[in-house]
Structure 1
Amino acid sequence: MTVEPSSTAAPPRPTEGVRPGGGRRVRQRRFSRRDRLWAVIMSVILVPIVIVWVYPFIWTVSSSLKSSSEIFGSLSPFSPVLRIGNYAQAWRDAQMGRYFFNTVFVTGFSILIAVLTAALMGYVLGRYRFAGKKVIIAVLALAVFLPEGYTIIPVYDLIDRLHLTDSLWGVTLAEAGGVNIVAVLLFAGYFAQLPAELEEAARIDGAGFLRTFTSVYLPLARPVTATAVIMQFLHSWNDFLLPLVLTLTRPELRTLSVGIYALRGQYLSDWGVMTAGATIALAPIVVVFLLLQRHFVESIAGAVKG
């Protein structure tokens, strides 16, 4: 005779600290009165700073939807009429579309070259021991403080000797040539903290230098790679001096930063078109950073820990 369990029986209570679906249940920490007071104080201090920090960006976006008289008539970011035509005029008449394509080309290929170069340099500095290693790291650290203006002449001379002064490839190589030293040091610190057993296992499997780097270590360095992409993206997208010098004879090869500067002469009185062009240049930076910010924080934390 089979005895069926009663339908009114109480269900088994889950073990304390364990969720019914498996996994441990994390107890929420109760904030004391002092913690709440400290959070309020920090909010009162930081909120005005955030407003002051973000206001220029808000002003630029709002001004791109106004006329010149409305821009200078009031500092309020709100306007009863939204002038979408400023974007169409900036994209078509001010050639922001062509400059945007040029900037995407230069930035994309410079990221590919610079990040791969920085990763290789960081891999060697982080995983290998050789004479003069500390000297090289010290020289790289000092090179961070070298202004770009001091290197513009040799860079231009090198691009001219390669006969690339009148092409986007010349601007791309110039942007990628100054590899971000901070990215190199981040890669070196990240690779140095990885276990040596990975390299030994790859060597037993017959992997050489490049295969070990591309198949083992580089996939593990995604946070640092994302950070290097962000930094090179910001550098190439916003750089002004190198594109200005290398495109003096070919205005159609200008990047967005140089193109917006050139608007001063043609659209001196139309600040709505100028701010619309600036907004077009700013939008990709915000999108890329929002997509990769988590990896950016992880890479900084990993490098510091290492």
Structure 2
Amino acid sequence: MALEATHSAGSDYVIRKPLVTPRVRRWIVSVLLAAVCCIWIYPLVWMVSASFKTNAAIFASEGLIPSEPVIDNYLRAWNEANIGAYFFNTLFVTVGSVLLVTIATAMMGYVLGRRKFLGRGFIFGLLVFTMFVPQGYTIIPVFELLSMLGLGQSLWGVMLATTGGSFVIFVLLFAGYFSQMPDELEEAAKMDGVGFVRTFWYVMLPLSKPIIVTVIVMQTLYAWNDFLLPLVVTLANPAIRTLSVGVYAFKGENFVDWGGMTAASTITIVPVVVLFLFLQRYFIDGLAGAVKG
């Protein structure tokens, strides 16, 4: 930090004053971050703007504000391109996977975070190792497993397939969060005659609200936006496509319906943006608590 030296009257010591005050420094940082934010959100703003333009107007360089806004893109996307049906398919898959993942990872994280047993370190290492396996290598085994269960061409199969994408990360988040909770909570529950499962369900789980919200947000983002796995599972049954796969249908062999694609993409992204805005405080608290643990 630059300093300005001044001599105090009647004394020999030097008072050094900063050339840049904390208030000015905050303004500079805020302006720089605002500029980065504008660059970051420009593609999103362009997408929303293009969704109200015709294909010709999109490439006419008329700016972000449409000169003649149209809503035909949304009507065509919702009705003719079946985005409405794909929306409810995605909602079913997302809600189901969030419930399954949250409950399962919370239980696994509780055992790994609160109990010490033989092989615990090996399990942690195995979980971390699976994080480095690319999704493309697991699609065929997952699809074969769904086929053997008779779920290869159903929404239930898509829902089960999307539960494994970020499973390991959530287990580690729960384990880190539960490991920092005081032992007195479990000891008090034991004195009251509460068993292991009931202690988890009625004592520990309600206290992990921030990490639960974090898992809900992250799994929602993953399930809502996943493309490769739903694409493979829904190839034989286009009626169960999710939004991410349905948007891709606007790209033809010789023509791309940019207006319809941007409208469908806007419909796709709005729900998760609204969800994150409502839950962002709990999301940040959950991550901070898990990392601390």
1:262 matched to 2:249? yes
- Label 1:133 to 1:272 Cα distance change in 2 as closer, same or farther (>3 A): same
1:220-259 correspondence runs (5 A): 220-259=207-246
1:19 aligned partner: none
2:117 aligned partner: 130
Determine the C-alpha separation between the residues in 1 that align with 2:246 and 2:62: 26
Unaligned runs of 5+ in 1: 1-31
- Equivalent residues of 1:110, 1:173 under 8 A apart: yes
Question: Which one has a bigger Cα radius of gyration?
Answer: 1
The DSSP-based 3-state class of the residue aligned with 2:152 is coil
1:275 matched to 2:276? no
Q: Which deviates more, 259-268 or 147-156?
A: 259-268
Offset from partner CA, 1:139-189 (integer Å, 9 cap, x none): 212222221111111111110110101110001111113452221111111
Offset from partner CA, 1:216-248 (integer Å, 9 cap, x none): 011000000000001111110011111111111
- Amino acid across the alignment from 2:271: P
- Equivalent residues of 1:117, 1:179 under 8 A apart: no
- Equivalent residues of 2:94, 2:159 under 8 A apart: yes
Identical-residue share of aligned pairs (%): 52
**What is the CA distance between 1:112 and its match in structure 2?**
0.3
Determine the C-alpha separation between the residues in 2 that align with 1:156 and 1:269: 30
The DSSP-based 3-state class of the residue aligned with 1:91 is helix
The DSSP-based 3-state class of the residue aligned with 1:65 is coil
- Equivalent residues of 1:244, 1:254 under 8 A apart: yes
- Amino acid across the alignment from 1:69: A
- Amino acid across the alignment from 1:158: L
- Equivalent residues of 1:65, 1:272 under 8 A apart: yes
1:102 aligned partner: 89
The DSSP-based 3-state class of the residue aligned with 1:78 is coil
1:189 matched to 2:184? no
- Amino acid across the alignment from 2:104: T
**Cα root mean square deviation, aligned:** 1.8
Q: Which deviates more, 214-223 or 296-305?
A: 296-305
Equivalent residue pairs, number:
276
Normalising by structure 1, what TM-score? 0.86
2:68 aligned partner: 81
**What is the CA distance between 1:265 and its match in structure 2?**
2.0
- Amino acid across the alignment from 2:233: L
Normalising by structure 2, what TM-score? 0.90
Unaligned runs of 5+ in 2: 1-18
- Equivalent residues of 1:68, 1:271 under 8 A apart: yes
Q: Which runs of 4+ in 1 moved over 6 A?
A: none
**What is the CA distance between 1:266 and its match in structure 2?**
8.5
- Equivalent residues of 1:118, 1:179 under 8 A apart: no
**What is the CA distance between 1:36 and its match in structure 2?**
1.6
2:134 aligned partner: 147
- Equivalent residues of 1:267, 1:273 under 8 A apart: no
1:184-223 correspondence runs (5 A): 184-223=171-210
Determine the C-alpha separation between the residues in 2 that align with 1:269 and 1:152: 28
The DSSP-based 3-state class of the residue aligned with 1:194 is coil
- Amino acid across the alignment from 2:245: V
Q: Which deviates more, 186-195 or 37-46?
A: 37-46
Determine the C-alpha separation between the residues in 1 that align with 2:167 and 2:248: 25
